[in-house]
Amino acid sequence: MEKIIIAIDGYSSCGKSTFAKAVAAKLGYIFIDTGAMYRAVTLYGMRRGIAEDREALAAALPEVRIEFRFDPQAGRSDVYLNGECVEAEIRRIDVSERVSKVSSIPEVRAKLVAMQQEMGRTKGIVMDGRDIGTVVFPEAELKIFMTADPHVRAERRYNELLAKGEEVSLAEIERNIRERDRQDETRAVSPLRRAADAVVLDNSRMTIPEQMDWIDNQLERFR
Ligand code: DC
């Protein structure tokens, strides 16, 4: 099979990263979690106290260095902010609450989209986000739009955070997810929407093996 670009977009917490990671591992492709990049910029802004200040954050962008480094022990790539691994910190709920706002800043998007396009230059990549099939790689060979019931998504996120020992309420998480859906869909720059040629994957009632069978079917046409 010739190397292709697989663009995966969709709502938050619907298992995009888990699915994208599994697809990349299956094909021997590189997996890029673009949400982690927006989260890293948000964390940078929070640490400097400028996460809510659009202009200051845009002006500080040249000082923000984001990269992925492969951790062979964990078998995954971690995101680094100015040389520091921030993989755990960027998943905190206070970062989640601010990231939609930060990701609506055009200068932030311009910088990260350019980085993402560079990463996909040699193909053989699975990238997940909100605007991959519409803006980053409108020419991607395979575009997938993922969705799942908001309540199911909240329960999954709740169980993940619980397992990490974070004290959170299910209702709070569901509110946060619905609010992020709204912000992602209604923002002026690169709103979340399904590309006309994207195939929809609703995994509300699907196991991971079922999703892998589904992708096998999708990949048939590239073999
Ligand atoms: O996938 P995630 O929940 O980690 O994404 C975090 C935030 O980043 C989410 O609110 C939307 C934003 N995002 C974006 O605007 N564009 C992307 N390509 C990826 C994420």
Mean pLDDT of the chain: 94
How would residue 34 be classed by pLDDT, with cut points 50, 70 and 90? very high
Nearest CA to ligand 1 atom 4: 35
Nearest ligand 1 atom to alpha carbon 91: 4
Q: Is 112 in the pocket of ligand 1 (CB under 6 A)?
A: no
For 15-24, what is each residue's pLDDT tens digit?
999 999 999 9
Q: Is 12 in the pocket of ligand 1 (CB under 6 A)?
A: yes
For 105-157, what is each residue's pLDDT tens digit?
999 999 999 999 999 999 999 999 999 999 999 999 999 999 999 999 999 98
CA dihedral 202, 131, 91, 81 (to 10 degrees): 150
